């Protein structure tokens, strides 16, 4: 018998459409009363939160981390139901913490509980199956949606409403659901993990655009932020004046992390012109491989709270 801890947090999977067709929260999470008829699975269910996922903060993520740590040696797996807007961020955050090697699976829904073709219960049952499966051990945090199994590091929400919204650019899913089994194609990358009890700091995200100058970046006050993530062009390039503004931030002691605004590929310093990646790298901008901006923000925030500075910070961010 596999003992699975279920942590409900709210989101569309726990919401319903009212008479006006508006999707609203329920006072009582309907997922908590779902009848689960899966062989050899025993559930322990906790309603940790009941909030829309845009309300999720790093403090909520830390709360889930504490529940997962407490589950070690008591449970064989953990399933978290979560709103989809920030699901990938919570998944990545947890995957960067000192979690046990048991399967930890996040899932959600794109359609509310009473919508036609609601996907919530099916996604939930699939997540339970993965959490109870021996092949899911030591794979890091997983996201199970629409019969696919994704790694927390790479998965992202790609569509506003479609049930196949969660995709993994470049790599594809780690595995898929079968009728009576699950199949993994690959394993997740190893992680540097942190055991943090508190996280604070301000790390904004700035997106590059054609004709961008230095005015937006100059609005940032170094004493009011702890770092910056910039979503740059292509392989990692910026307009010239914006690049100079980033250099000035770095000179003032503010860490600057760069990702690409492209959906696929890796940001790297290869262009040698004014504002190009080589100039930015030489100025101290740290290039993140394959993470999107929202995950890079969490990576920098976690690193700073773990006390990483200087070369250790650069090595972790660019690793």
What are the structure tokens assigned to 148, written together?
């696919």
Binding-site annotation: residue ranges for substrate: 53, 84-85
Length of the chain: 319
DSSP string, 220-283: --GGG-S-EEEEEBTTTB--HHHHHHHHHHHHTT--EEEEESSSSS-------STTSHHHHHHT
Catalytic residue from among 9, 81, 84, 168: 84
Decide if 12 is catalytic: yes
Annotated binding-site residue numbers: 53, 84-85
CA distance 30 to 9: 12
- How far is Cα 268 from Cα 257, in angstroms, rounded to an integer? 12
- Gap between the Cα atoms of 29 and 120, Å rounded: 12
CA–CA dist 179, 158 (Å, integer): 26
Instruction: Give catalytic status of residue 160 as yes or no.
Output: no
* CA-wise closest residue to 143 among 131, 134, 159, 158: 131
Query: Which residue reads 């996922």 in tokens?
Result: 53
- From 12, 86, 90, 107, active-site residue: 12
DSSP secondary-structure letter at 115?
S
- Catalytic residue ranges: 12, 84
């Amino acid at each position: 018998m596999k003992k699975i801890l279920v942590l409900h947090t709210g989101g569309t999977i726990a919401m319903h459409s009212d008479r006006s067709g508006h999707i609203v929260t329920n006072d009582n999470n309907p997922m908590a009363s779902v009848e689960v008829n899966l062989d050899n699975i025993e559930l322990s269910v906790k309603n940790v939160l009941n909030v829309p996922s845009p309300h999720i903060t790093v403090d909520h993520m830390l709360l889930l981390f504490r529940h997962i740590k407490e589950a070690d040696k008591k449970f064989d797996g953990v399933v978290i139901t979560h709103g989809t807007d920030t699901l990938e961020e919570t998944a990545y955050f947890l995957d960067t913490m000192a979690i046990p090697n048991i399967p930890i699976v996040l899932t959600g829904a794109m359609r509310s509980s009473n919508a036609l073709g609601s996907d919530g219960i099916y996604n939930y049952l699939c997540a339970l199956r993965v959490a109870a499966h021996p092949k899911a051990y030591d794979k890091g945090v997983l996201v199970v949606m629409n019969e696919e199994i994704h790694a927390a590091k790479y998965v992202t929400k790609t569509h506003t409403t479609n049930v196949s919204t969660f995709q993994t650019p470049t790599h594809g899913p780690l595995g898929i659901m079968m009728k009576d089994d699950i199949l993994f194609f690959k394993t997740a990358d190893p992680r540097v993990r942190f055991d943090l009890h508190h996280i604070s700091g301000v790390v904004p995200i700035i997106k590059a655009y054609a004709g961008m100058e230095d005015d937006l970046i100059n609005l940032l006050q170094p004493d009011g932020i702890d770092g910056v993530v910039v979503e740059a062009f292509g392989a990692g390039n910026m307009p010239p004046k914006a690049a100079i503004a980033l250099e000035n931030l770095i000179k003032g002691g503010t860490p600057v992390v760069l990702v690409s605004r492209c959906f696929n590929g890796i940001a790297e310093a290869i262009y040698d012109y004014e504002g190009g990646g080589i100039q930015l790298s030489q100025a101290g901008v740290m290039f993140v491989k394959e993470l999107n901006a929202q995950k890079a923000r969490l990576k920098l925030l976690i690193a700073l709270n773990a006390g990483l500075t200087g070369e250790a910070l650069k090595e972790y961010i660019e690793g």
